[in-house]
Amino acid sequence: MSSLSHLGRSARAINATLPRASVVRVATNVAPRRTLLTLATAARRQGAVLAQKTSAFNKTTSQTALRAFSTSLPSLDDAEEESEDPTKAERYADETDVVIVGGGPAGLSAAIKLKQLANADGRELRVVLVEKAGEIGAHTLSGAVLEPRALNELIPDWKEKGAPLNQPALEDHMKLFTKNYAIPLPHPPQMNNTGNYIVSLSNYVKWLGEQAEEAGVEVFPGFAASEILYNEDGSVKGIATNDVGLDKNFKPKDDFERGMEFHAKVTLFAEGCHGSLTKKLFRQFNLRDECDPQTYGIGIKEVWKIDPKKSKPGTVVHAMGWPIDNSTYGGAFIYHMGEDMLSLGLVVGLDYENPYLHPYKEFQRWKHHPYVKDLLEGGECLSYGARAINEGGLQSIPKLYFPGGALIGCTAGFLNLIKIKGTHTAMKSGMLAAESAYAAITSDKYEEDKPIVLEDFEQKVKDSWIWKELKEIRNCRPSFHTPLGNLGGVLYSGIDTILLKGRTPWTFHNTTPDHERLRVATNAQKIDYPKPDGVISFDLLTSVSRTGTNHAEDQPVHLRLKNKDIPVERNLKIYDGPEGRFCPAGVYEFVDDESAPAGTQRLQINSQNCIHCKTCDIKDPSQNIDWTVPEGGGGPQYVYT
């Protein structure tokens, strides 16, 4: 459990025993963010372990001691007196050496590496990591078969430290699904999983979070970074978290708290695929000017407890074919995790053309294939989730640095699509960024009034095994964009990966963004999906209930429409309303508009269902949906994923 969580309980205990005037007010029904950060910062500066400091506070009842401790931060009541509008009050700003946005594999690896370097040199280096999920790992979802290459470099004694890599991959199978058969196929050498581990990535990330805190990283879950801060010279100064306690009309409620600012010498963005702040950085610094458009997939996954007689721990199965048609990129996975647990899912390329395609329903239909159904019968579905993934590869990687910071992990796009793995490359990118940031901060040439530019970080990536991996398979994904469709892509990719190994003088390109590939509805064939049976396949809301998703209903909708008329006037008229189909969580639906003439519809946004997959922001053909962060701590609460 994070130090922030410990302090949260202590702060509420303190409020209960002390006069109100003696402490900064801590709301008990929201994350006491500003107060607790002040407590954590003070404890760090005094060289005390946070838990010990908390214990000391619980034993202290003197007004004097707490007044002395809280003088660095005015109470919210004082701020409200100074400004009639508390949303305009000055935000509390915290200074740090490095701030990292995102607590996934890349962000945590960067944080750990920074502290390892500083600790080895006996230097004081403050590293702060903010994560929008209520706890580290809660928003993390992947297949996943983990290649431990980067982990071996970062934490060589990970076995002794209890890393949750418990099930080695023992067998690999590749299959072509027809409607009724599973035909064995040879698989590319890159898909060989010898030495890898079948894991729950959410549990693995939780463990990385523990390692980060032990190394001295200040980890703050429940803090949603919503704004990039800039210096006067245009360089990145840090980030700000969003205000909490606003109602749906952006008006402050009784529990309102102003967001916080984190100012840093270096800001590393590790938001994951299609990050909400990363989008702004692309535009601000023209980071995508010299690369191809990114192309994406939507991965939909379930975790089952199956009949022990059917469990084959360590078995890895990848499949292609039915129910995906030849013009749509996609594939499936089945991983036997051990302890009779089965991880299975379907990935559909978001460059699909048919607006009637429904990725979630394709996945539910896929589970009724005889090969899959036989595994699931007699079992129980425990968990569900979905997320977008980067598929563009080498050609779609943007410029990685800008004045004041850098992009790491999936927010930049280092997924190795042929391996179907991105955790190891994400971790390595974070480690390389940490090395560059540490060298720049501790350099004799460092000047406080000049921004740090991590130009050498990009070169480090190009000199690393990340680049070698991605260069070797760079032509595989674009090869599916030919008149031969999946058949042509499979044939070319097989030749390229097995024989040529990427040693070709040509490079194919990703030419068209995913949102521009939808055909108009009049030129597309409707798809008749079978109804779920409630045993093997499930309706959407049942699946969403298995994500643990929760958002406070009375808060601003974090899925923002740039123009409220476009969903009906363009998307519904031209594409027959694809929003209700590409979302894997039932967020969007067209309903009768009771305020308009009969037969008129409107787009209803059920934002409380959102599982933070970002698919809507990617696939909306009008690019009218802007996915932004909700209040920190909201969203899915994934387990086993």
Half-sphere exposure of 206 (CA within 13 A, CB side): 20
Residues 477, 487: Cα–Cα separation, whole Å = 12
Gyration radius (Cα) of the chain, Å = 25
Residues 1, 54: Cα–Cα separation, whole Å = 14
> Among positive and negative, which fits the CA dihedral 55, 61, 67, 73?
positive
How far, in whole angstroms, is CA 172 from its chain's centroid? 27
Residues 165, 148: Cα–Cα separation, whole Å = 9
Residues 426, 641: Cα–Cα separation, whole Å = 18
> Among positive and negative, which fits the CA dihedral 203, 204, 205, 206?
positive
What residues form DSSP beta bridges with 579? none
Return the closest-CA partner of residue 388 out of 424, 430, 349.
349
Return the closest-CA partner of residue 557 out of 471, 613, 634.
634
The values of phi and psi at residue 209, to 5°, are -60, -40
What residues form DSSP beta bridges with 333? 318, 345
CB-CB contact of 240 with 22 (8 Å): no
The two beta strands, 197-198 and 218-221, are: unpaired
CB-CB contact of 83 with 89 (8 Å): yes
Burial of 380 (0-12, 13-18, 19+ CB in 10 A): exposed
Residues 556, 559: Cα–Cα separation, whole Å = 9
Task: Tell me the three state secondary structure of residue 639.
Answer: coil
H or E element in which residue 389 lies: strand 380-390
The values of phi and psi at residue 145, to 5°, are -110, 115
CB-CB contact of 576 with 355 (8 Å): yes
The phi-psi region of residue 542 (left if phi > 0; otherwise alpha if psi is between -120 and 50; otherwise beta) is: alpha
Looking at residue 136, the DSSP 8-state letter turns out to be: T
Q: Which amino acid is at 323?
A: P
Q: Please, which residues have CB within 8 angstroms of residue 448's CB and are 6 or more apart in sequence? A: none
H or E element in which residue 344 lies: strand 341-349
CB-CB contact of 617 with 120 (8 Å): no
Q: Which amino acid is at 452?
A: I
Residues 110, 457: Cα–Cα separation, whole Å = 12
Tokens at residue 281, please? 């950085």
Tokens at residue 365, please? 């239909």
Return the closest-CA partner of residue 555 out of 607, 610, 504.
607
Q: List residues with catalytic annotation.
A: 142, 387, 423, 583, 610, 613, 616
The phi-psi region of residue 272 (left if phi > 0; otherwise alpha if psi is between -120 and 50; otherwise beta) is: left
The two beta strands, 625-627 and 380-390, are: unpaired
CB-CB contact of 421 with 321 (8 Å): no
